[in-house]
């Protein structure tokens, strides 16, 4: 039966990213023979699911491929006997993101979706839901692979690996985005680019950039601009600093290395535009207007200009490699298993992996810059405490997590800020607010 094709369940299937994923399944059908595609969402997302689902059906129909598209709010039916489950959720939706980004600003602290206090609250909301999905998978699809795109991807992936038996991998679009950017910059095929990542999700350094076999890292470290994400201000790096850092920093590292400038920029942007979540909401609304066009049967160009470009390409690549055992190298979030010798074996890290039929194997690192070990460990400490807080609903542990985040250096700021943020998320934190 399974020989006739694969079953894929996409949780959060009503996401605006779904058309990209569908496009990937169509394009790579020869290597990844999808037979059933189940798009699942919650009741509150049903309207969007129907719009994006209808577009998905039109895309498949035009392709002429034997893929069945199912739209459902019955998660268990979607998960049952799936070969791959992917999750792309936003617990609390854009409204919650808006709070994550703005409450910290009142306390003079970086307000960001995936790192700092904002990322912490996102983790507290998301991890319990994600573990609930894992319970279903353990029962209904014990051999499936869970591909997690849900941010904060590192913490969510680690929570799954430590608190369930599901086989899971965390994915971010930053690594593939860098490859694309290098490919454009150097006018070469992505396959000619060889990079090595060290660190955690949204906290990595790239310690090797070979293009057609030539070492381009010194050149790239000599630039103060460089690859960046749409969602992070493009302020340039200090040239002396970047030159001697030992690796190309993730653009998220600007929050850590240029905290004052980033905070000023956030506060200015907030005064000017309101919170970024609202901006994103407008973009999304526009996308859904396009998706609803019954004549549209392909991924619209506008989708690529979003911050999350290449997510779905990364996902399809990974599924292809797992399915076929291609043994190619991808940068993924996986359990450490001794790769960074100062972190526990079960800590999620973001590194190059060999993708085998039996899952990804983290590759030994050629070089770990001494400079960055402490920062990696400091953020990992915060992450592990946050996971523990999410699973237990323990406010003391949550406070310790908040205090020990490098972007929150002050205890007397952390305590009231945490209280306000927990309260603002009350509806999504049953472990912290048991009676309701």
Nearer to a copy of itself, 185 or 388 (CB): 388
For residue 37, list its beta bridge partners: 8, 69
Tell which one of 286, 338, 426, 427 touches a copy of itself (CB under 8 A).
338
Q: What residues contact 184, with CB distance under 8 A and at least 6 apart? A: none
Tell which one of 76, 163, 306, 404 touches a copy of itself (CB under 8 A).
404
Q: 93-106 and 276-291 helices cross at what angle (nearest 10)?
A: 160
Task: Work out whether 220 is an interface residue with a copy of itself (CB under 8 A).
Answer: no
Q: 214: part of which helix (H) or strand (E)? A: strand 214-215
Nearer to a copy of itself, 67 or 349 (CB): 349
Q: Which two tokens stand for residue 407?
A: 């972007």
Give the x-and-dash track for 174-203 against a copy of itself (CB under 8 A): --------------------x---------
Task: Work out whether 258 is an interface residue with a copy of itself (CB under 8 A).
Answer: yes
Nearest Cα to Cα of residue 193 among 217, 222, 221, 228: 217
Task: Work out whether 37 is an interface residue with a copy of itself (CB under 8 A).
Answer: no
For residue 193, list its beta bridge partners: 211
Radius of gyration of the chain (CA): 21
Q: Where are the beta strands (DSSP E) in 187-252?
A: 193-200, 203-211, 214-215, 248-249
Residue numbers 414-433 binding a copy of itself by CB under 8 A: 414-415
Task: Work out whether 372 is an interface residue with a copy of itself (CB under 8 A).
Answer: yes
Task: Work out whether 380 is an interface residue with a copy of itself (CB under 8 A).
Answer: yes
Q: How many CB atoms lie within 10 A of CB 377?
A: 15
Q: What is the DSSP letter of 87?
A: E
DSSP string of 98-147, one letter each residue:
HHHHHHHHHTTS---SSSHHHHHHHHHHHHHHHHHHHHHHHHH-TTPEEE
Distance CA 412, CA 279 (A): 32
Tell which one of 382, 421, 425, 429 touches a copy of itself (CB under 8 A).
382
Task: Work out whether 385 is an interface residue with a copy of itself (CB under 8 A).
Answer: yes
Distance CA 92, CA 113 (A): 12
Tell me whether residue 17 is one of the annotated catalytic residues: no
Shortest separation between residue 328's beta carbon and a copy of itself, angstroms: 7
Shortest separation between residue 56's beta carbon and a copy of itself, angstroms: 30
Distance CA 9, CA 79 (A): 6
Q: What residues contact 187, with CB distance under 8 A and at least 6 apart? A: none
Task: Work out whether 234 is an interface residue with a copy of itself (CB under 8 A).
Answer: no
Task: Work out whether 57 is an interface residue with a copy of itself (CB under 8 A).
Answer: no
Task: Work out whether 138 is an interface residue with a copy of itself (CB under 8 A).
Answer: no
Shortest separation between residue 375's beta carbon and a copy of itself, angstroms: 6
Residue numbers 5-24 binding a copy of itself by CB under 8 A: none
Give the x-and-dash track for 350-369 against a copy of itself (CB under 8 A): ----x-xxx--xxxx-x---
Instruction: Tell me which of 17, 252, 291, 311 is the catalytic residue.
Output: 252
Tell which one of 65, 259, 300, 391 touches a copy of itself (CB under 8 A).
259
Residue with tokens 């591909």: 147
- Write the CA distances from 425 to 61, 93, 105, 122, integer angstroms: 41, 11, 17, 9
Q: Which two tokens stand for residue 106?
A: 């009142």
Task: Work out whether 256 is an interface residue with a copy of itself (CB under 8 A).
Answer: yes
Task: Work out whether 264 is an interface residue with a copy of itself (CB under 8 A).
Answer: no
Nearest Cα to Cα of residue 421 among 88, 174, 121: 121
Task: Work out whether 145 is an interface residue with a copy of itself (CB under 8 A).
Answer: no
Tell which one of 44, 189, 230, 241 touches a copy of itself (CB under 8 A).
241
Interface size with a copy of itself, residues (CB under 8 A): 66
Q: What is the DSSP letter of 80?
A: T
Only segment of 80-88, 120-128, 171-179, 326-334 that touches a copy of itself (CB under 8 A): 326-334
Only segment of 37-45, 81-89, 226-234, 376-384 that touches a copy of itself (CB under 8 A): 376-384
Nearer to a copy of itself, 255 or 311 (CB): 255
Reply yes or no: is the peptide bond before residue 152 cis, omega within 30 of 0: yes
Tell which one of 143, 244, 302, 392 touches a copy of itself (CB under 8 A).
244
Strand 84-87 with 145-148, pairing: parallel
Q: Write out the residues near a copy of itself by the rule CB under 8 A.
A: 194, 210, 213, 237-238, 240-241, 243-246, 256-261, 325, 327-329, 337-339, 341-343, 354, 356-358, 361-364, 366, 370-375, 377-382, 384-385, 388, 396-397, 399-400, 403-404, 406-407, 409-415
Which of the residues are catalytic?
252
């Amino acid at each position: 039966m399974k020989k006739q094709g694969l079953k894929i369940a996409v949780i959060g299937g009503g996401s605006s990213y779904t058309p990209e994923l569908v496009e990937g399944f169509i394009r790579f059908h020869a290597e990844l023979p999808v037979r059933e595609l189940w798009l699942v969402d919650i009741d509150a997302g049903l309207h969007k699911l129907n719009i994006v689902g209808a577009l998905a059906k039109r895309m498949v129909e035009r392709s002429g491929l034997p893929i069945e598209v199912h739209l459902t709010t019955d998660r268990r039916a979607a998960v049952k006997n799936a070969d791959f489950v992917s999750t792309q959720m936003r617990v609390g939706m854009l409204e919650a993101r808006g709070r994550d980004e703005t409450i910290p600003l009142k306390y003079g602290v970086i307000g960001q979706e995936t790192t700092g206090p904002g990322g912490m609250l996102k983790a507290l909301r998301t991890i319990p839901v994600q573990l609930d999905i894992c319970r279903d998978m353990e029962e209904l699809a014990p051999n499936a692979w869970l591909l997690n795109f849900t941010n904060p991807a590192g913490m969510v992936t680690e929570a799954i690996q430590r608190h369930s038996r599901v086989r899971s991998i965390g994915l971010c679009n930053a690594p593939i985005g860098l490859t694309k950017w290098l490919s454009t910059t150097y006018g070469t095929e992505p396959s000619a680019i060889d990079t090595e990542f060290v660190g955690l999700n949204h906290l990595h350094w790239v310690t090797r950039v070979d293009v057609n076999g030539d070492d381009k890292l010194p050149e790239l470290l000599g630039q103060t601009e460089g690859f960046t994400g749409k969602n992070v201000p493009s302020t340039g790096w200090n040239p002396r600093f970047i030159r001697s850092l030992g690796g190309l920093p993730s653009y998220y590292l600007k929050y850590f290395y240029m905290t004052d400038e980033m905070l000023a920029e956030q506060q200015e942007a907030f005064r000017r535009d309101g919170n970024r979540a609202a901006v994103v909401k407008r973009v999304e609304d526009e996308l859904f207007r396009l998706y609803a066009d019954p004549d549209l049967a392909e991924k619209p160009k506008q989708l690529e200009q979003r911050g999350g470009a290449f997510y779905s390409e990364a996902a399809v690549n990974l599924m292809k490699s797992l399915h076929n055992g291609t043994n190619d190298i991808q940068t993924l979030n996986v359990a450490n298993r001794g790769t960074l010798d100062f972190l526990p074996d079960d800590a999620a890290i973001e590194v190059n992996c060999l993708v085998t039929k039996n899952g990804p194997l983290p590759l030994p690192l050629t070089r770990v810059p001494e400079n960055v070990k402490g920062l990696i460990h400091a953020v990992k400490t915060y992450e592990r405490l946050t996971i523990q807080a999410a699973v237990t609903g323990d406010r003391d542990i949550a406070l310790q997590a908040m205090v020990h985040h490098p972007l929150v250096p002050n205890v007397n700021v952390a305590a009231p800020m945490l209280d306000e943020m927990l309260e603002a998320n009350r509806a999504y934190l049953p472990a912290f607010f048991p009676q309701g």
